[in-house]
Structure 1
């Protein structure tokens, strides 16, 4: 549970200052087209998928720490899901503003047209599974690299009299 919780906390730490800053002015037509692009590209669905992954990790951690409290955990997870859902529209708005800062309305229209094509629709259909599989690959790869780095740097940790969670 630590890795997903850490990643979520890191995402919040990075996103919070960015969301708090005054947004740069953007063309309203580009902003509107960016929202269309995000909808057609399936970005909101992927955001929901990631929120579900975070909630599942939280559920697992809560169940491990609170055996026999399934009903209470389900209630809390439901509340967390409602909060994630409530925050999705402002997130989409913020993401649309970022796209509108980098692309013109016409450019976003061209990119959006891709998602109206057969291969674009296939991309949207397949993307949740691709993201899921990619997250698994990245997590496995990340754990492997972290372990290799820790083994390689163990002498440096010992030299500096630093302990790890396993020592």
Structure 2
């Protein structure tokens, strides 16, 4: 299984049990303020950026597996994008509930006020680029570390007669 497909599957494997849990009751006023915080903080836009990243990775994986089928892949990616778009509001609601469980309405109002300040607005403006750059840094380090760790632990795999890849 290619890495993007694996990440895609893992994201949903971990998200599904979390979504199935019964949420703790939250103060409706805190929930409303949490939604305002998510919007002003750019979290809603970052969620869409994450979805776009997942779709781009999935598209690249599909293109590698299906050369010459660009039109068909684009159609499927469009369908996937539409399905993700339907789910984002529920995800935002669930995220807001988490914030409302950890912060009071007044605390969320204070945090939201930060995003109304000049530096808060700058943070929202710069965050997509920062997230993109830090993801690249994390991927580079993650790949490097994974190779080093696998190399270092190869004797442990061999000792247990475990293969590190399909051969």
The alignment's TM-score, normalised by the length of structure 1, stands at 0.96
Paired residues, what number?
167
Matching residue of 1:63: 63
Assess if the C-alpha contact under 8 Å between 2:38 and 2:44 holds in 1.
yes
| Alpha-carbon offset, residue 73 of structure 1 | 0.5
3-state SS of 1:143 partner: helix
Structure 1 CA distance for aligned equivalents of residues 2 and 135 of structure 2: 15
Could you list the runs of 5+ residues in structure 1 that have no partner in the other structure? none
Structure 1 window deviating more from structure 2 (2-11 vs 78-87): it is 2-11
Structure 2 CA distance for aligned equivalents of residues 100 and 127 of structure 1: 23
| Alpha-carbon offset, residue 5 of structure 1 | 2.5
Matching residue of 2:98: 98
Q: Could you report, residue by residue, the CA deviation over 1:56-106 in whole angstroms, capped at 9, with x for unpaired residues?
A: 111111111111111100000000000111110000000000000000000
3-state SS of 1:67 partner: coil
Matching residue of 1:11: 11
Structure 1 window deviating more from structure 2 (5-14 vs 23-32): it is 5-14
| Alpha-carbon offset, residue 163 of structure 1 | 1.3
Q: Please tell me whether residue 31 in structure 1 is matched to residue 5 in structure 2.
A: no
Structure 1 CA distance for aligned equivalents of residues 28 and 47 of structure 2: 24
Q: Please tell me whether residue 85 in structure 1 is matched to residue 52 in structure 2.
A: no
Matching residue of 1:72: 72
Runs of 4+ in 1 over 6 A off after TM superposition: none
Q: Please tell me whether residue 50 in structure 1 is matched to residue 79 in structure 2.
A: no
The alignment's TM-score, normalised by the length of structure 2, stands at 0.96
Q: Could you report, residue by residue, the CA deviation over 1:107-157 in whole angstroms, capped at 9, with x for unpaired residues?
A: 000000000000000000000000001111111100111000011011111
How big is the alpha-carbon RMSD for the aligned residues of Structure 1 and Structure 2? Answer: 1.3
Matching residue of 2:150: 150
Could you list the runs of 5+ residues in structure 2 that have no partner in the other structure? none
| Alpha-carbon offset, residue 166 of structure 1 | 7.0
| Alpha-carbon offset, residue 9 of structure 1 | 1.9
